[in-house]
Amino acid sequence: MKISNIDVSTYPNSEKIYVDGKLFPIKVAMRRIRQYPTVKIEDGQRVEYPNAPVTVYDTSGVYTDPAHTYDVNEGIPRLRESWIAERGDTEVLPDITSEYGRMRKADPSLDAIRFPHSYKPRRAAKGKKITQMDYARAGIITAEMEYVAIRENLDNEARGISTYITPEFVRQEIAAGRAVLPGNPNHPEAEPMIIGKAFAVKLNTNIGNSALSSGIEEEVAKAVWSCYWGGDTLMDLSTGDNIHETREWIIRNCPVPVGTVPIYQALEKVRGRVKDLTWEIYRDTLIEQAEQGVDYFTIHAGALREHAELIKERTTGCVSRGGSIMVQWATIHNQQSFLYEHFDEICEILAQYDVAISLGDGMRPGCTHDANDRSQFLELDVLGELTERAWAHGVQVLIEGPGHVPMQKIQENMDRQRQVCHEAPFYTLGPITTDIAPGYDHITSAIGAAIIGRLGTAMICYVTPKEHLALPTLEDVREGVIAYKIAAHAADLAKGFPGANVRDDALSKARYEFRWKDQFNLSLDPEKARRFYLESRRAAADADDRFCTMCGPNFCAMRISQNCEAQA
């Protein structure tokens, strides 16, 4: 099978730049947006004042590098492969370890849908500790740590903006568990990034087919598309057919860390019968996915048998797929959740592949009525306990949270999480702040995400306009990502993240000076901004009028204001 590239173009008037490391021979990708000069008439002469380019965080990988010829059937460059090999503490396995993975590999009927290239899995060598947390605790700064330090700072140094983010600072944050740097050696295509309160707020996107929809090509297109618009990590939540093969295509083409919820695939393996789930099937799934390169697993180990009673008090019960599966399993078998019981074994596996654990919020509230209730906070307490257990194995930890929370209850979520989960990074879905707007939940939740991001949440999980109604299309992915870029950036501004205001200030200056093209190019969605303007102008050629279509020339406040300045 050959599939088609999705058409993502480069960004207008932008160039891909690569900043050299000082400690390691790394090249950190960023995007530089050029600006037009400010033109003034002085003494009857036209004088140009240059405007410095603006460097922005870039999640789009090689897809926006014109020097790279991209073909999804080849996958993207394996950036970190040599870094990992050179550390000499991993081994390349002769074959994949998981039974299921070997079965799929041996099945010729799958040849038609398989990714055309295969790689041997890599795992910690015997006795070696290879997670970024292990390195950080041992005082080792890795290439990945330097990469993210440079990446977070953009061009702050050149601008004279002081920052606290150094490779050593990154190391300390990871060592303390306050930040996560996803780093599965089997996903060397991923550009290093970091998730933590001290860093820029990140956003996760979800894609994935269900039994009812969507094929491999469509999911790969969504993955590329979400990175193009600004997704920092990507969760593949597929639950339909050919999950294994779909995931391979996604990972091999994904420049950002990939997460999954392994219980979904485990359930598919028992044909959707919760009763038939076993620890052994789940364990094999963990290994299967770790060797494909999944960077973090959502594991609902805090959803316990005890929750079956508690969720009866709720309006919407349990709305987490993973959480509801585990509670049902525990109820059917009258046993404690096997994820909780086998948690240390899970961590032992994950540590060998530096797969981070994202402790799932199986009891997140599914409506504002259920927010901050006993179910939710009991689970959070359990997640705090599990955090320490994971850290004991050197496994990096994220804590998943919110869902539907009215604004006045958001702060308590952040405060309790920080307290009981020992400052492990918080990773929240929204929260959605009112239940009454299906079709607009990217907005109801961007409100909550911006608020909780400002309070210290490290990563926010996007919500698309289709939430509660259907799976997102490409356009929905774009709308969801931009809404969450807005929330994340508004939070960065509010928390005073170093250099966060540079892009805002540049765009505002361009706006005031009627440099329309710069306004578009500096925006999160240049294509849409430009289209809205030109549709209204009904003039496709140029966009340098000194007024806009909202007010017309006589009523342009900025124009009048500039005249005032000239006269005063």
Q: Using CB under 8 A, which of the segments 61-69, 226-234, 419-427, 486-494 binds a second copy?
A: 486-494
- For 242, residues 6+ apart whose C-beta sits below 8 A from its C-beta are 110, 113, 216
Instruction: In whole angstroms, give the CA distance from residue 74 to residue 57.
Output: 26
Told to check if 563 binds a second copy by CB under 8 A, we report yes
Work out how close the CB of 352 gets to a second copy at its nearest, in angstroms, rounded to a whole number.
Answer: 29
Strand partners, 54: 33
Told to check if 215 binds a second copy by CB under 8 A, we report no
Told to check if 537 binds a second copy by CB under 8 A, we report yes
Between 62 and 410, name the residue whose CB sits nearer to a second copy.
Answer: 410
Instruction: In whole angstroms, give the CA distance from residue 439 to residue 466.
Output: 6
Told to check if 44 binds a second copy by CB under 8 A, we report no
453: nearest Cα among 417, 479, 414, 481: 414
Told to check if 485 binds a second copy by CB under 8 A, we report yes
List the structure tokens of 39: 């033109």
Asked if 192 contacts 184 with a C-beta cutoff of 8 angstroms, the reply is no
Residues 389-428 that bind a second copy (CB under 8 A): 404, 406-408
Asked if 152 contacts 199 with a C-beta cutoff of 8 angstroms, the reply is yes
Residues 324-363 that bind a second copy (CB under 8 A): 324-325, 327-328, 331-332
- For 518, residues 6+ apart whose C-beta sits below 8 A from its C-beta are 35, 36, 51, 506, 507, 510
List the structure tokens of 520: 């578009």
Instruction: In whole angstroms, give the CA distance from residue 263 to residue 285.
Output: 8
DSSP designation for 213: B
Give the count of residues interacting with a second copy (CB under 8 A).
113
Residue 501 has a CB neighbour count (10 Å cut-off) of 15
Told to check if 561 binds a second copy by CB under 8 A, we report yes
Between 143 and 339, name the residue whose CB sits nearer to a second copy.
Answer: 339
Residues 423-442 that bind a second copy (CB under 8 A): 433-440, 442
Residues 235-294 that bind a second copy (CB under 8 A): 239-240, 264, 267, 272, 274
Instruction: In whole angstroms, give the CA distance from residue 53 to residue 503.
Output: 10
Between 233 and 433, name the residue whose CB sits nearer to a second copy.
Answer: 433
459: nearest Cα among 225, 172, 181, 224: 181
Work out how close the CB of 506 gets to a second copy at its nearest, in angstroms, rounded to a whole number.
Answer: 9
Told to check if 316 binds a second copy by CB under 8 A, we report yes
Told to check if 544 binds a second copy by CB under 8 A, we report no
Told to check if 540 binds a second copy by CB under 8 A, we report no
The binding track of 445-464 with respect to a second copy, each residue x by CB under 8 A or -, is: -xx--xx--x----------
- For 205, residues 6+ apart whose C-beta sits below 8 A from its C-beta are 226, 231, 233, 234, 235, 461, 462, 477, 480, 481
Told to check if 88 binds a second copy by CB under 8 A, we report no
Told to check if 311 binds a second copy by CB under 8 A, we report yes
Told to check if 319 binds a second copy by CB under 8 A, we report yes
Between 356 and 450, name the residue whose CB sits nearer to a second copy.
Answer: 450
Told to check if 474 binds a second copy by CB under 8 A, we report no
Told to check if 520 binds a second copy by CB under 8 A, we report yes
Give the one residue of 132, 142, 352, 444 binding a second copy; rule: CB under 8 A. 444
Residue length of the chain: 568
Instruction: In whole angstroms, give the CA distance from residue 518 to residue 521.
Output: 5
Give the one residue of 38, 210, 245, 341 binding a second copy; rule: CB under 8 A. 210
Told to check if 66 binds a second copy by CB under 8 A, we report no
Residue 545 has a CB neighbour count (10 Å cut-off) of 15
Residues 107-136 that bind a second copy (CB under 8 A): none
Give the one residue of 482, 497, 499, 515 binding a second copy; rule: CB under 8 A. 482
38: nearest Cα among 544, 528, 413: 544
Work out how close the CB of 214 gets to a second copy at its nearest, in angstroms, rounded to a whole number.
Answer: 10
Instruction: In whole angstroms, give the CA distance from residue 152 to residue 194.
Output: 9
- For 374, residues 6+ apart whose C-beta sits below 8 A from its C-beta are 310, 313
Work out how close the CB of 507 gets to a second copy at its nearest, in angstroms, rounded to a whole number.
Answer: 5
Q: Using CB under 8 A, which of the segments 23-31, 95-103, 342-350, 551-559 binds a second copy?
A: 551-559
Give the one residue of 71, 504, 542, 544 binding a second copy; rule: CB under 8 A. 504
Burial of 284 (0-12, 13-18, 19+ CB in 10 A): buried
Told to check if 161 binds a second copy by CB under 8 A, we report no
Residue 33 has a CB neighbour count (10 Å cut-off) of 21
Half-sphere exposure of residue 540: CA atoms within 13 angstroms, side-chain side = 0
Told to check if 5 binds a second copy by CB under 8 A, we report no
Between 55 and 352, name the residue whose CB sits nearer to a second copy.
Answer: 55
Between 407 and 420, name the residue whose CB sits nearer to a second copy.
Answer: 407
